[in-house]
Amino acid sequence: MAIAWHWFVTYFMISWSIAQANTQENIVFQANYEDLNRGCWEGSFVLNECEERCECRNGELVNCYRVRKDFIKMDILERRRFLDAYKIVSTYPSFRKDYRRVVAYHIMYTPTELLHEGPEIFLPWHRWWLVEFENLLRRVDCRVTIPYWNWSRVANHWWGGFGKEDFWSPGAHGLGGDGTTPNLCVVDGPFSGDKWSLLKIGGGGCLKRNFSYLHLTGDKEHMKSTLALPVEEFLEFEEILREIYHNEIHWYVGGTMFTTEAANAPEVVPHHSFLDKIWLEWQKKGKEYKNVFFYDVPRKFPKTNYYGWQWLDSDNLPDQVKVMYED
Ligand SMILES: *[C@@H]1O[C@H](CO)[C@@H](O)[C@H](O)[C@H]1NC(C)=O
Ligand SMILES: *[C@@H]1O[C@H](CO)[C@@H](O)[C@H](O)[C@H]1NC(C)=O
């Protein structure tokens, strides 16, 4: 009886394991089958499981790009995916140390005179920093990319008030609005003072804003003429991006954005992503545009092993990162 029982148990265990193994195999097989079914036709473009845009070559997905999108054109789910990931990395203990490290590169490790007051590293440094930031967010959800905020389309009313077009929407899919008196704390959206706070290195306390209702210089017309600048006028192009487009948003949003701790403000990320898109568009005018200037800057980004010239080609960034911007 005992022996029969033993055999029964053994038999049962073995057939159960086989059944398990079969199921496992089926899952793998079905995944492959689904991949094929998804239409990996030679030369076609396919989104992989991280929603990177890949090319199908010999049945494999290659040349996968992170696709950064216009915040205003993202649906509510996509916006929330980004904002939720941002909140998770900036608040959960398991991520917060790395969030602090990424923010600290901007606030502490890189002197602002070097970063913002000349052309030496401003553009490629921020391109590197966006990828660092994006890598962190993608640890929460690998589908997340850094959205860009095209403020040029709303240059004369960038502070919002236009419904779905509104970057500063108070809902869970926006960045919240202007700060309020007396302390300029943001009181709506996912980053309101009761829900979120700045890091100690960011000054602590609530996220602050103090909107100046002034028109931005970088409207669509201005942007067109900036993008039309020839390669010989790179320094002019760079200065417009850095000293006008970049600075104006920091000044006009005010509050935390108008301090050296600005990197702790969530809006800094989509702002810089748009500047990066503008630079990339200009670079696409030709090889000489892509490679101008930074090969002659023999200076590493502080506390990293990178030089600016390593961050010129968005089709081929360090660590095999490829970035494209959807219009
Ligand atoms: C910003 O948006 C406007 C309006 O949709 C568009 O014409 C323009 O090309 C965009 N700018 C960039 C640099 O993407
Ligand atoms: C907010 O900005 C305005 C200028 O737009 C300035 O006059 C005011 O002092 C600022 N408020 C605070 C509390 O800093």
- Confidence check: pLDDT of 38 > 70: no
> 260 C-alpha vs ligand 2 centroid, how far in Å?
17
What distance lies between CA 81 and its chain's CA centroid? 12
| Residues 276-314: tens digit of each pLDDT | 999 999 999 999 999 999 999 999 999 999 999 999 999
168 or 27: which carries more pLDDT confidence?
168
| Residues 166-206: tens digit of each pLDDT | 899 998 899 999 999 999 999 999 999 999 999 999 889 99
CATH of domain 70-295: 1.10.1280.10
The number of the ligand nearest the C-alpha atom of 68 reads 1
- Which residue has the least CA distance to atom 5 on ligand 2? 212
Handedness of CA 72, 196, 124, 134 (dihedral sign): negative
Q: Choose the residue to mutate in 70, 72, 148, 153 for probing ligand 1, maximizing ligand atoms within 8 Å of C-beta.
A: 153
Residue boundaries of the structural domains of the chain: 38-67, 70-295
Q: How far apart are CA 137 and CA 144, in angstroms?
A: 7
Return the closest-CA partner of residue 123 out of 321, 254, 290, 316: 290
pLDDT of amino acid 108: 82
pLDDT of amino acid 161: 61
Task: Give the ligand 1 atom nearest the CA of 148.
Answer: 14
Q: How far apart are CA 131 and CA 317, in angstroms?
A: 9
pLDDT of amino acid 292: 98
Task: Give the ligand 1 atom nearest the CA of 278.
Answer: 13
The one-letter amino acid code at 151 reads: W
Ligand 2 contacts CB of residue 10 (under 6 A): no
pLDDT of amino acid 20: 35
6 or 167: which carries more pLDDT confidence?
167
pLDDT of amino acid 8: 38
- Which residue has the least CA distance to atom 14 on ligand 1? 327
Ligand 2 contacts CB of residue 210 (under 6 A): yes
Distances (CA, A) of 35 to 28, 44, 60, 142: 11, 13, 10, 18
Phi and psi angles of residue 50, each rounded to the nearest 5 degrees, phi first: -95, 15
The number of the ligand nearest the C-alpha atom of 182 reads 2
Least confident of 38-42, 122-126, 202-206: 38-42
Task: Give the ligand 1 atom nearest the CA of 274.
Answer: 13
pLDDT of amino acid 17: 34
